[in-house]
Amino acid sequence: MSVIEPEEHKALREAVASFARNHPRAPGTDNRQFWQDAAKLGYIGVNLPEAYGGGGGGIAELSLVLEEMGAAGNPLLMMIVSPAICGTVISRFGTEAQKRQWLPALADGSRLMAFGITEPDAGSNSHRITTTARRDGAGWLLTGRKVFVSGVDIADATLVVGRTADARTGRLKPCLFIVPRDAEGFRRRPIDMELNSVEKQFELSFDDVRLPADALVGDEDAGLLQLFAGLNPERVMTAAFAIGMGRYALARAVEYARERTVWSAPIGSHQAIAHPLARAHIDLELARLMTQKAAHLYDTGDDTGAGEAANMAKYAAAEACAKTVDQAVHTLGGNGLTREFGLAPLITAARVSRIAPVSREMILNYVSHQTLGLPKSY
């Protein structure tokens, strides 16, 4: 395993696991103290540059942190968004002023940033996004809508994917803008979700939101490249989130199968119980290996290779998580649906990992087109 995961990563896993296990866990309640405590230990900003207060690591380290938190039953959804997507995009493409303004605060946990790409009619298809930004003097006017944006109520700003007109062709191209939470014309509406999560989902509207010139992140003509620089880490982190959730559910099921006795034998001694749990463990381990590969490719600068691997990792992890949670609940029987054992909320949460941030079907489209070279169906 030392070839696959170096000793420093193993040490980081052990430290995060111990921290997350011993931190008070209260599902569905405010987790800001946990976030701040994790930030003080350097976990939240482990992927951000040392020059701006981060740990100098990469997505490999950050995804590892999130996985171990999830395996301990203490996942932090906003890690996928604030340090992974927004922090990565700003550190790679932001101006020096943007880096100084945001990266140290994202790293020490004092500020949060949300990410808005999904739209009611376009989903996350950047080619169909209708949120547009047009020049207005030295600044911009942003107009449009976003849905299913996590944590906007606790974020200091939202990194919004909009589109601007190409001066040469007149066609719209994706660009990224930092929108402060108190910007005039920027409104949010909570979406009522059947999820037991601290981080709420919101619909956003932008009604001619006036932004300064420096709200634009990166090069206006390289928006798609910059966008995918944030989406690949998002997929890797979502995979880590799902793997952690699956590991947590599996651990609860294994513990129960060892202790629950029927006719003087633990139920875990029966192959009908043991074999599905063994398969769940295998699937989670395979998904973890692909996640490690994707993170490695991204951190070494192979954006093309990381795109394929990150999509595969997200697919594999979501499938493994959903099947593991289902089997864990089934192992506990009626107890799997009680509040006492804490597995029931994972049924919905595991389903989310199959849907967001990209569906199973769109990943299969990506692999069939990009990897296998099959013709597009759309």
Q: Which of 22-31, 202-211, 299-308 has the lowest mean pLDDT?
A: 22-31
Strands, E assignment, 186-260: 186-190, 201-211, 216-217
What confidence tens digit (pLDDT) does each residue in 272-294 have?
A: 999 999 999 999 999 999 999 99
| Residue 193, SS3 per DSSP | coil
DSSP letters spanning 25-57: --TTS--HHHHHHHHHTT-TTTTS-GGGTS-S-
AA identity, residue 210: R
SS (H, E, C) 280-338: HHHHHHHHHHHHHHHHHHHHCCCHHHHHHHHHHHHHHHHHHHHHHHHHHHHHHHHHHHC
Residues 114-218, CATH architecture: Beta Barrel (2.40)
- Alpha-carbon span 87 to 89, nearest angstrom: 6
Angstrom distance (rounded) from CA 341 to CA 200: 24
Enumerate helices (H) and strands (E) in the chain, giving the number of each: 11, 10
**In angstroms, rounded to a whole number, what is the distance separating the alpha carbons of residues 263 and 272?**
15
Quick check: helix, strand or coil at residue 150? strand
Is 224 in contact with 126 (CB distance < 8 Å)? yes
d(CA 117, CA 129): 8
pLDDT at 174: 84
CB 161 within 8 A of CB 129: yes
| Tens of pLDDT, residues 5-30 | 899 999 999 999 999 999 876 555 67
The pLDDT of residue 63 is 98
What average pLDDT does this structure show over 98-106?
98
Least confident of 105-114, 128-137, 306-315, 331-340: 128-137
**CA-based nearest residue to 82, from 65, 73, 71, 124:** 65
Residue 164 pLDDT grade (very low, low, confident, very high; cuts 50, 70, 90): confident
Q: Is the pLDDT score of 192 beyond 70?
A: yes
User: Quick check: bond before 233 cis, omega within 30?
Assistant: no
Architecture of the CATH domain 224-371: Up-down Bundle (1.20)
Instruction: Answer whether residue 61 shows pLDDT above 50.
Output: yes
pLDDT in tens, 237-276: 999 999 999 999 999 999 999 999 999 999 999 999 999 9
Q: Check residue 123 and report its DSSP letter.
A: B
pLDDT score recorded for residue 2:
47
172 sits in the region (left: phi over 0; alpha: psi -120 to 50; else beta) called beta
pTM listed for this prediction:
0.94
Tell me if 294 sits within 8 A of 302, measured CB to CB: no
Taking domain 7-111, whether its CATH number is 1.10.10.10 is answered by no
Name 187's bridge partners: 205
DSSP 74: -
Q: Is 167 exposed, middle or buried (0-12, 13-18, 19+ CB in 10 A)?
A: exposed
Domain boundaries, the chain: 7-111, 114-218, 224-371
